Amino acid sequence: MNVLIIGNGGREHALAWKLAQSPRVERVFVAPGNAGTAAEAENVDIGMEDFPRLVKFAKENRAALTVVGPEAPLCAGLADAFQAEGLRVFGPTRSAAQLEGSKVFCKNLLRNADVPTADYRVFRDAESADRYINDRYSLPDEDVPVVVKADGLAAGKGAIVCRRRKEALEAIDRIARQRAFGDAGNQLVIEERLDGHEASVLAITDGRTILTLSPAQDHKAAHDGDKGPNTGGMGAYSPTPLLDDAQIRWVEEHVLVPTVHAMKRARIPFRGVLYAGLMMTSQGLKVLEYNVRFGDPECQPILMRLKTDLADVLEATVDGRLDEIAALEWDPRPAVCVVMASEGYPGPYEKGKPIRGLDDAARLPDVKVFHAGTALSGGQAVTSGGRVLGVTALGNSIPAAKLQAYKAVKCIRWEGAWCRKDISDKALEYGRRA
Ligand code: AMP
Ligand code: GLY
């Protein structure tokens, strides 16, 4: 069968790479794709927001399965547009994607389903949110342990973690008065700040059966030691020792199953990837957020380890027969993915820098370089985004996988390239403390 993947990041390159390995898959198309997917699949020059042309392409090219990578097209109803034409699409409908697209929807659902999450309040205007903060925290230097969140999608920037009253009031002002995230700021969530380690548990579900993937840990801060501004993710590894098998079963029982059931009860069945962002607090695990698609970069190390044919799993999800899929098979070796970024990211950066050394990196054993923000310019791979590559490696241990990933990173260069040097070190730090 032919497969169409929507998106242009590292996650979509990993999906294209993995799906192309299926003996049942003939052609893999990626719209719009990047330089990495151009080499391994067929790029299609259609934007992610152009639903009519994507539908037309899928029909004309007999795409038996379309896989949607990012959240924005899902929240805008891409899956609905495909389903309306009788096309098979992996990813939740617009209503189900509200789990990520609306923090208010997500928090209310979690509360109703009794899933542990931070306490929260919803506000419709800046004045009532200000009043709430001022009434509760009146001392000038008091710790103000809150997180102020824009309700809607804000490219990962809509959650502002606060320590002081001034920060909380500024966050409210930015979201609700200055409208820094536009209509995403029509409502605000103010929630209790949680402290602890973060981990991601991703599961694939057809709305009834849940297949949990191996847990991963992202590195959201730009610089080593989790310093600096937040990014889309500077690296990830899987599995993470942060969650043992008993904790994963706990997450299934107390987080994933009640969420999937609550969606079904609300007549909004969820089909696709349910990604739970978790905080391990001293009071136990709590859900920080849901995403409704594979994490980027978590997808890269996870898929590098997956041995099961992904096409079978995604197709069974779309057809509502995930119960027929046997337990997933994994390479027992951990994988580490290091993101190489453009100078200036997550702020403004230049594009079009020629990338050298990709072939040398590719020759290293157990290494796969996934492209993210890259494009082809006269046959040469050049930078075209903030996160440029996800250099991923397997190893017999997390430190061995890390070593191999950084060995590959050393082969690759372009003007201004940088990366975090400590991806996966949190696993070791945690091991020491446990
Ligand atoms: P979100 O936009 O909800 O995905 O949150 C993005 C990031 O903000 C998370 O990965 C956490 O690092 C942080 N965050 C969100 N909610 C909380 C919270 N209640 N307490 C502490 N940190 C949080
Ligand atoms: N890596 C975080 C995310 O995909 O949202």
b/e sequence 220-259, b meaning 16+ C-beta within 10 Å: bbbeeeeeeebbbbbbbbbbbbbbeeebbeebeebbbbbb
**Mean pLDDT, 10 residues at a time, over the chain (434 residues)?**
98 98 98 97 97 98 98 97 98 98 97 96 94 88 91 87 91 92 92 94 96 95 93 95 93 97 96 96 94 97 98 97 95 98 96 97 98 96 97 97 98 98 90 51
The model carries a pTM of 0.95
Substitution candidate for ligand 1 out of 161, 175, 198, 282 with most atoms within 8 A of CB: 161
Strands of the sheet with 335-341, listed across from one edge: 217-218, 235-238, 335-341, 387-394, 367-371
Q: In a 3-state reduction of DSSP, which class is residue 199?
A: strand
The answer, yes or no, to whether any atom of ligand 2 lies below 6 A from the CB of 291, is yes
Q: Residue 366 Cα, ligand 1 centroid: separation in angstroms?
A: 33
Residues 6+ apart with CB under 8 A from 124: 186, 187, 188
- Is residue 193 lining ligand 1, measured as CB closer than 6 Å? yes
CB atoms within 10 A of CB 60: 8
pLDDT at site 185: 87
Supply the pLDDT for residue 434: 43
416, burial (CB in 10 Å: exposed 0-12, middle 13-18, buried 19+):
middle
Q: CB of 307 within 8 A of CB of 329?
A: yes
Of the listed ligands, the closest to the CA of 280 is 1
Q: Which of 103, 279, 287, 291 to mutate to test the pocket of ligand 1 (most atoms within 8 A of CB)?
A: 279
Instruction: Verify whether ligand 2 is closer than 6 Å to residue 373 (CB atom).
Output: no
Residues in the chain: 434
Q: Where are the domains of the chain?
A: 2-93, 125-186, 197-433
Query: CATH assignment of 2-93?
Result: 3.40.50.20
Q: What is d(CA 166, CA 141) in angstroms, rounded to the nearest whole number?
A: 10
Q: Which ligand is nearest to the CA of 153?
A: 1
Which residue out of 188, 231, 285, 289 has the highest number of ligand 1 atoms within 8 Å of its CB and is therefore the one to mutate?
Answer: 289
- Report how far apart, in Å, the C-alpha atoms of 46 and of each of 183, 385, 392 are: 26, 18, 28
Q: Report the CATH fold assignment for 197-433.
A: D-amino Acid Aminotransferase; Chain A, domain 1 (3.30.470)
Contact 392 CB / ligand 2 (< 6 Å): no
Residue 339's DSSP bridge partners are 390
What does the pLDDT read at residue 79? 98
Q: What's the confidence (pLDDT) of residue 431?
A: 61
159 ligand 1 Cβ < 6 A = yes
Q: How far is the CA of 233 from the centre of ligand 2 (A)?
A: 6
